[in-house]
Each structure stands twice: as structure tokens, then as C-alpha cells.
Amino acid sequence: MPSRSGTRRKASRRAILKSALAGIATLAAPPVLGQAKAHVIVIGGGFAGATCARRLKAADGTIAVTLVEPNARFTACPFSNAVIAGLRPIEAQYFGYDGVKQAGVDIAGQIVVAIEAEARQVHFADGARLDYQRLVLAPGIDIRFDALPGYDQTAAEIMPHAWKAGAQTLLLRRQLEAMADGGVVVLSAPANPFRCPPGPYERASLIAYYLKTKKPRSKLILLDAKDTFSKQRLFEAAWKTLYPGLIEWVPLSGGGRVIEIDAKTRTLVTEFGSHLADVANVIPPQRAGAVAIAAGVADQTGWCPIDPHTFESKLVPNIHVIGDAAIAGAMPKSAFAANAQAKVCADMIASLIRGEDPREVKLINTCYSLVAPDYGISVAGVYAPRDGLLTEIKEAGGVSPLEAPAAQREAEATYAQAWFQTITREVFG
Amino acid sequence: MTRPWSYRGISHGMIVVALLAVPIQAAAQPSSAAACSGCHAPVNDGPVPGLIGRPAGEIVTAMAAFRAGERTATVMDRIAKGYSDEEINAIAQWYAAQGQPAGNP
Amino acid sequence: MTRALINTPKQAQQGEVIEIRAMIAHVMETGHRRDAQGAAVPRNIIHRFQCLYDDVEIFAADFYPAMAANPFIAFSTVATTSGVLTFAWTDDQGTIQRATAEITVV
Ligand SMILES: Cc1cc2nc3c(=O)[nH]c(=O)nc-3n(C[C@H](O)[C@H](O)[C@H](O)COP(=O)(O)OP(=O)(O)OC[C@H]3O[C@@H](n4cnc5c(N)ncnc54)[C@H](O)[C@@H]3O)c2cc1C
């Protein structure tokens, strides 16, 4: 390919130029010049990227940090299931970038279309380019519109995924509102790994809450490509008491895997039958955001292998991957985890730029789910790098107790809300 | 030659910037404490207690009680078990050194 | 034993190649686990699957320990005459789970 060889030629010329400059810098004042010139680009202003950009500035004010994010407003997924159930306005999910800007981060309202890893340069959709010393990729997920026959962008306008918050969330909400009492809502959940492992089950719970209170003759079928899921015993016990007979969960071994979608008839086809839905929510297979694939940091699974200490890509040097896009071992794809990884990654990049050895750090994840507005359950874990992977510390973590007084479920619902407020304040406030 | 000279000029400027940055770096939150701030806000105004400015001994005692299952908890009992005395101490020391929290009851 | 699922076309043209899917939900014991007393828990997996088309075996499979807990099997056959497809799963305890499906060939 002619363009590629051109690129390489350019890259090597730049490399020579850079080493010439480095030589001069060493004579003048070795560590300081390198440090002051450091520029880190962070792609993606979600829970991972926005956290990382701010934390980099806080860790070392001399690092120039550019956050690339095309949207002026971020729409958060956590608690978007409550929006779908009519318990919360979508406006409560919106966050701007003023706080990030005030922290000293430059914001580029752009989409990154290509990354030249050798030249350490990113290309924007408008043709502009920007050099980096280290790059952080935090693009979240993309829906795999090639994975489920019949489920493409057009089908998603009829059978929403609502797995990226915003217009899709509102579409599903409107469809539920428009559905007649006695209707059948069908959800489908993908195989692992995917964004927010307890998310489909929280969604089923809150939709059931809406149906029970507003359309009590309706039914919800949850078709699953798995035989087990996050916080399963807690969810199932709560469904039995709160929504008896309303939710039918069909596991993989019960023929729950959806293999085809017919949007025209709103039908979900499984290996052993088909389900006609009045409202259908297809949560399809996912992969790392397209820019990660373009950068060559994703492997054949569609996700990005990383070093568990520094979050540096195992495939391309000087690129770090955090949040949902990364293969973070035992850590789930959650906003809590994205935020925790981002902080550690920022600290590690700051020490790498200073020429220090990164230290080992533990990470935490806590995911709350609402089964009803006043009924919260959680799963928590503590993680550390072990044998090249982020591994869960055995003695710690676990889920809420199966037997617990109503007050504890209520407390966890309150803590869930408090968590969302705290984390969004830390990231965007 | 003018080039090395101008570089030296720039690097002096950089040294000033770097020195100014040192106190900021010293005050930066240690990575291990970063995990806490996902839930524990800097402002003490929610149901989850703030940690900033809290005496180190108080944090250490609370964590030991959570770890031993001697204090009622929702998630802290599960999280405390993942940390050693040494790690808890370091986190507690840093939070204690952060002065007064905003809105401490 | 447990629940079995099958998916066959209800009707087919004579000579048509049809796809058949079968799955069983079976609580597997790998044979590698130990109980609370430390004794080995005996292996119990589905070790044989068989499909008969009007009493003639048209497909069979032997399974070994690397098999998944709830084996899913898909295979093809040729629709010859109207009749009954019989499926049988046998586990290590000797329990046989059967399921049947009728097919009309036109
Ligand atoms: C229904 C639902 C409920 C959930 N509930 C919870 C919960 O209760 N708790 C929890 O912890 N997690 C929850 N999650 C998971 C959580 O939303 C994700 O794990 C989290 O958003 C991941 O953060 P991220 O930064 O990796 O990705 P995102 O937050 O998605 O951010 C990615 C950002 O990158 C930008 N971007 C993408 N490509 C480019 C590009 N090429 N150039 C520039 N910018 C780009 C996007 O515009 C976006 O702003 C939930 C998810 C869903 C769907």
C-alpha cells in the first residue's frame, strides 16, 4: 500500500528528528526537559477517560493533557435503567466537561479516526493531527452489529439495545409507555464478556417494577445466552418475592440463546423456538470501541489485552487502555472499575514519565443493582495484578447476603444513589 | 551556534515550572487511596462518610472492625478483607493529613 | 433426569436436507471434585447421544470428560418419509432421557 510506506518514511524521519532533539536536551538538562514536554492524549471522555485526564493533571501539573471527546455532553449509563422504568428523568444522566476543563485539561471536541503508533500521532476526523508521548484509549464499547443476524442499526431503531445511554434509552422508555397492558416484553442478554454484567438483570427488574405498578397483566421474558449471571441468587430470590410470575428467565440450557432477529415482526429467534415481542430489548454482543480496533490494540476477541500494573497495551507500546475496552482480568466492565483503573493508570503514566518504576496497587469494584427503587443489592471485589492478570483477592469481595432485612436492601439502594453522585462529581464535577 | 543556546533558555523555564509542580505532586493522592474515592466523597454530605481529615486511628480501627466482621456493614466488610494492616495504615495516614473536610458534621 | 430441547422442522420435502438441534440441561459431575469429607464425587456426564428416525439410528455420539455441561448438538439428515425422530441421552448413572418429534414429509 503506497500510503503506508509513505507513512513509514515520515515516521522514520520524525524519529531521527526526535533523537537529535533528545541529544541536545540531554546536554542541557536531562530529566526536566523530557518531563516538561510530556503530552498525554486521552481518547474518550467517559468514566475512564475523563477520570484519567483529570488525575494526570493532579498527579503532575507539568504534563499537558488533551481529552478527545466528540460529544459536548456525556450521557451516563449507570441508573439509565431507572430512566427506562420511568423512575428518573434522562436529564439526571447528563454531564458536561466544564469541570474537566477547569482542572487544566485541554478538550478536543473531535473523533479520533486513526492512530499512528510508530509516529505517536493521532488523526482526527477533520484531518488535524496531534503528537503524544503516551496515549490513553478509553472509548468504551461498540455494539457488534455483525454478530447477530438481522440485528443492524436499522433493527436497533425498532428493537433498541439501550446499551449506550441516550436516544436508545428514551426509545425503549417510549415503547414501554406505549405498550398496552397485557403485552409481552422480551429482553435478550449476550454471552460474556459484555458491559455491566448485572445490567440486563437490573433492567429486567426495573421494567418488571414498571409493569407491576402500571401494566400488571404484562409479562417479561429474559432470553439469556448464559446459564449463570452476576448476583443471580439475589436477583432470583427478589424476583420471586417482588414480581412473582412476571419475569421468566430462559437460560442457555433452556434454549435462551438468541441466534437471529427479525425486526419486521419483532421476533427473537432462538436455537429452539421464537418469541414474538410487543417490546423487545436486544442487548447484543459487544467489543471495544472502534478506535481501539483501528489502533491495533484489540486482539481477536475484540477486546484489548493490557499489562495489569500500568494498563499499557500488550500489543502496542505507549498506548494504555482502560475501562470497558480493556481485558481487565477478573474486573468487570463497570463505571466503578473504569474510574478505579483510570486513577491507577494516570498515576502509573506520571511515574513512567518521571522515569520511576510503577508500584503495585490494589483496585476496588463495587456494582450496585436496583431490583426495585428501595431494594438494592451489590457485588464488590478487590483486585491486584497477579501473573499478568488483574486477579480478585480471594479473601475479599462477594455479594450482598441472601437473607437480609428490608432495611439493608433499602440502605444499599441509598448507597447506590450516593455512589452515582460521588463518582459523577469526581469525574465531571 | 544559536540552537543549543535557545534550548538552554527553554530548559531554564522548564526547571521553574517543574519546581513549582513539586508540592502539588507531594499532595497527590496515593494510588491505593484512589480506590476509596469512588464512594467516599471529598465533601461529607451524603450517607457515605467522608474520609478527608479523619484521624488515622479512626480509619484504622473502623477497617479492622469491618475486616473482623464486628461492625455492621453493607460492602465495607467485603472490601476491608482485601487490605493488609500496612495498606490500611498508609491510606489512613494520607486521609488524615488532608486537613479539614468541607462540611464535616 | 432433566429437561431436553429439540428443534426439527415439522414438515419437509422428500430428499430435503434438514437441520436438527438438540440440547439437554444436565447437572454434570466432572469426576474431579471432592465432597466435604474429601471423597471423590463420582463422574456423571452425558456419555452417549443417539437419534433414531423411525427406529433406524441416523446419528450417534460418544462424549468424554471435556464435554460441556449441557451439550448442544446440531446435525443434518435427509428427510425420507413421514415418521418419528427419537432422541436419547444416556448419563454415567445409566439414566436415559428421551424426547420425540414428528416429521411430515411431502
Ligand atoms: C444499562 C447500564 C447500566 C449500568 N449500570 C452501571 C452501574 O450501576 N454501575 C457501574 O459501575 N457501571 C454500570 N454500567 C457500566 C458503565 O456504564 C460502563 O462500564 C462505563 O461507562 C465504562 O466507561 P468507559 O469510560 O470505558 O466507557 P464510556 O463511559 O462509554 O465512555 C466512552 C467515551 O468515549 C468516547 N469515544 C468513543 N470513541 C471515540 C473516538 N474514536 N474518539 C473520541 N471519543 C470517543 C464516547 O463518546 C464516550 O463518551 C452500566 C451500563 C449500562 C449499559
- Indicate whether C38 belongs to any domain: no
Q: Does any CB of chain A come closer than 8 Å to the CB of residue B35?
A: yes
Instruction: Write the CA distances from B84 to A362, B77, C68, integer angstroms.
Output: 11, 14, 39
- pTM of the predicted model as reported, rounded to 2 decimal places: 0.88
Q: Is the CB of A367 under 6 A from ligand 1?
A: yes
Closest CA to A354 of A364, A346, A362, A343: A346
> pLDDT, tens digit, for every residue of A1-56?
344 443 444 444 444 444 444 433 333 333 444 445 799 999 999 999 999 999 99
pLDDT-based confidence at B44, cuts 50/70/90?
confident
**pLDDT, chain C, mean:** 94
Asked whether residue C73 is domain-assigned, the answer is yes
CATH number at residue C87: 2.60.40.10
Domain total in chain C: 1
pLDDT value of position B102: 55
Residue B1 has pLDDT above 80, yes or no: no
Q: Which cell is A271 given?
A: 436455537
Domains and CATH numbers, chain B: 27-96 (1.10.760.10)
Cβ of B23 under 8 Å from any chain A Cβ? no
Whether residues A28 and B47 touch (CB distance < 8 A) is answered with: no
B9: confidence class by pLDDT, cuts 50, 70, 90: very low
ipTM reported for the complex, 2 dp:
0.86
Half-sphere exposure of B44 (CA within 13 A, CB side): 12
Q: Is the fold of A23-140+289-359 the same as that of A153-284?
A: yes
Facing A272 at nearest CB: one of C21, C69, C70: C21
Residue A21: enclosing H or E segment and its boundaries?
helix A2-28
Residue C92's domain spans which residues?
4-31+43-105
Model pLDDT for residues C46-71, shown as the tens digit of each residue: 999 999 999 999 999 999 988 888 99
Q: Of A36, A362, A380, which has the smallest distance from its Cβ to B83's Cβ?
A: A362
Contacts of C21 in chain A (CB under 8 A): 271-272
CA distance A122 to A140: 18
Is-cis flag, bond preceding A405, omega within 30?
no
Query: What is the fold, at CATH topology level, of the domain defined by A23-140+289-359?
Result: FAD/NAD(P)-binding domain (3.50.50)
| Ligand 1 touching residue A230 (CB < 6 A) | no
pLDDT digits (tens, 9 = 90+) for A405-428: 999 999 999 999 999 999 999 999
C6-16 pLDDT, tens digit per residue, is 999 999 999 99
- The pLDDT value recorded for residue B34 is 86
Where are the domains positioned within chain A? 23-140+289-359, 153-284
Helix, strand, coil: what percent of chain C each, to 5?
0, 55, 45
pLDDT band (50, 70, 90) for residue B28:
low
Cross-strand pairs, A326: A304
What is the per-residue pLDDT for A141?
A: 98
Chain B residues lying within 8 Å of A381, measured CB to CB: 82
Q: Is A301 in the C-facing interface, judged by CB distances under 8 Å?
A: no
CATH topology assigned to domain A153-284: FAD/NAD(P)-binding domain (3.50.50)
Tell which one of A47, A379, A421 to mutate to probe ligand 1, the residue whose CB is within 8 A of the most ligand atoms: A47
Residues in chain A with pLDDT values less than 70: 1-36
Closest listed residue to residue A218, CA positions, set A170, A281, A277: A277
According to the model, what pLDDT value does residue B101 have? 60
Instruction: Among A251, A253, A272, select the one facing C7 at the smallest CB separation.
Output: A272
Backbone angles phi, psi at A259, to 5 degrees: -115, -10
